[in-house]
């Protein structure tokens, strides 16, 4: 798949000539353009993932599915890959953090703190408010973007995305 051209019938029928960048790339992966140029789509990283959170995404490229669980940053996907699509594991795996969206139960005055309970990094904190249920916030300096909170949210109001200027986007 040179130059990101998606020749699959599905992509062609949808009018898509390139493989869209996933919301979250694999940990330690190179830029998306370099990734799709060199990835062979062999699936070795998918089978190597002990958490089984890697799935075949658009164009057959691996993608992270946090609804299946969290990333433990074990680097088994990196070790299993023969293609030059990963950076050294001595570097930060990625610049993703959790982001709480408007559908959070706390915004509807329903008490729920499952995301905080599932966060090993203790990056999700609930602030008490007079006359209201506690509201969550992400401590971006502590969040590693593992995604444990995503699958644990009963209403699916947490996503993982890049952090810009100290704020999750």
Q: Residues within the annotated binding site for [4Fe-4S] cluster?
A: 39, 42, 45, 49, 71, 74, 77, 81, 143, 146, 149, 153
Q: How far apart are CA 4 and CA 87, in angstroms?
A: 20
Q: Residues within the annotated binding site?
A: 39, 42, 45, 49, 71, 74, 77, 81, 143, 146, 149, 153
Distances (CA, A) of 125 to 82, 116, 158: 40, 6, 14
Task: Kindly provide the b/e burial profile for residues 57-73, where b requires at least 16 CB atoms within 10 angstroms of the residue's own CB.
Answer: bbbbbbbbbbeebbbeb
């Amino acid at each position: 798949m040179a130059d990101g051209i998606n020749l699959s019938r599905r992509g062609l029928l949808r009018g898509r000539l390139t493989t869209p960048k996933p919301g979250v790339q694999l940990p330690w992966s190179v830029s998306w353009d370099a990734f799709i140029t060199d990835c062979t789509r062999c699936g070795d990283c998918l089978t190597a993932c002990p958490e089984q959170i890697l799935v075949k995404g658009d164009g057959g490229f691996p993608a992270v599915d946090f609804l299946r669980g969290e990333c433990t940053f074990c680097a088994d996907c990196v070790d299993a890959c023969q293609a030059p699509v990963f950076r050294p594991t001595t570097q930060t795996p990625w610049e993703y953090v959790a982001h709480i969206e408007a559908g959070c139960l706390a915004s509807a005055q329903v008490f729920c703190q499952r995301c905080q309970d599932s966060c090993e990094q203790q990056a999700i904190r609930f602030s008490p408010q007079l006359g209201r249920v506690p509201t969550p916030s992400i401590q971006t300096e502590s969040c590693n973007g593992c995604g444990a909170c995503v699958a644990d949210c009963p209403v699916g109001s947490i996503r993982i995305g890049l952090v810009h200027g100290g704020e999750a986007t």
